[in-house]
Amino acid sequence: MNVLHLIANPKPSETSVSKKLALEFFSALMEKDPDVVVENVDLYQNKPPFVSADALNYFWRPVIDPAYIPSKAEENAANYSNNNAQAMIDADVVVLTMPVWLNSMPAILKAWLDQIVVPGKLYRMGPDGPVPTHHIRTVVLLVSSDSVYKENDPADGLTPAIRAIFSWIGVDDIRIAWADGQDSERHFDSAERRDMAIEAAREIAEEIVDD
């Protein structure tokens, strides 16, 4: 099993709750199946650029014009995408480690997805919309937040966005370990909430090996 781990958090591991979840997730995963192959990508060490007009042409012009040949500038604009998409194409499972920022995912992760989830790499455009060309089985979210978000909370702009993005490439198995209520000033039980999320992360790791 190939696991792609995308880390969208600039904080050091010692002070990050979401990175603690990731540590526990991957130790449970490796205990259960030492043959799992993990590729760790720290997005702050390998920052995606925002998609430019040239990159848009490179990704989308072939959809409407099979004879399109990219210019040198358009090819250069797609370098990040071309150099980094293979990890996602090869993945059976994608793990996303992040805090909640402004009720959503950190912008660096969205920028990465904008570069990678493009036609010709993970899907092709059919008459009825995107048709996945690679099979990612499961996406795991390891998330931390100060607030408590209830089920289907309208303030949660993270989970629906991830679900919608990955539905383009045919992934509907999204598993979540979420340490919410991490502001201990507002939530007396923040430590218990973190421990519950750690347990959930470890359980998800074991389940995805068994699936």
Per CB under 6 A, residues contacting ligand FMN are 9, 11, 16-19, 99-103, 144-147, 182
Q: Closest approach of Cβ 3 to ligand FMN, in Å?
A: 19
Q: How many residues belong to the chain?
A: 211
Q: Which is nearer to ligand FMN, 18 or 115 (CB)?
A: 18
Q: Closest approach of Cβ 99 to ligand FMN, in Å?
A: 3
If 0-12 CB within 10 Å is exposed, 13-18 middle and 19+ buried, where does residue 14 land?
exposed
- Are the beta carbons of 44 and 108 closer than 8 angstroms? yes
Q: Closest approach of Cβ 160 to ligand FMN, in Å?
A: 14
Q: Which is nearer to ligand FMN, 8 or 136 (CB)?
A: 8
Q: Which is nearer to ligand FMN, 8 or 77 (CB)?
A: 8
Q: Which is nearer to ligand FMN, 18 or 138 (CB)?
A: 18
For residues 120 and 135, give the distance between their C-alpha atoms in angstroms, rounded to a whole number.
14
Q: Which is nearer to ligand FMN, 2 or 147 (CB)?
A: 147
Q: Which is nearer to ligand FMN, 40 or 147 (CB)?
A: 147
Secondary structure, 3-state, the chain: CEEEEEECCCCCHHHCHHHHHHHHHHHHHHHHCCCCEEEEEECCCCCCCCCCHHHHHHHHHHHHCCCCCCCHHHHHHCHHHHHHHHHHHCCCEEEEEEECECCECCHHHHHHHHHHCCECCCEEEECCEEEECCCCCEEEEEEECCCCCCCCCCCCCCHHHHHHHHHCCCCCCEEEEEECCCCCCCCCCHHHHHHHHHHHHHHHHHHHHHC
Q: Closest approach of Cβ 105 to ligand FMN, in Å?
A: 11
Q: Closest approach of Cβ 107 to ligand FMN, in Å?
A: 10
Q: Closest approach of Cβ 141 to ligand FMN, in Å?
A: 12
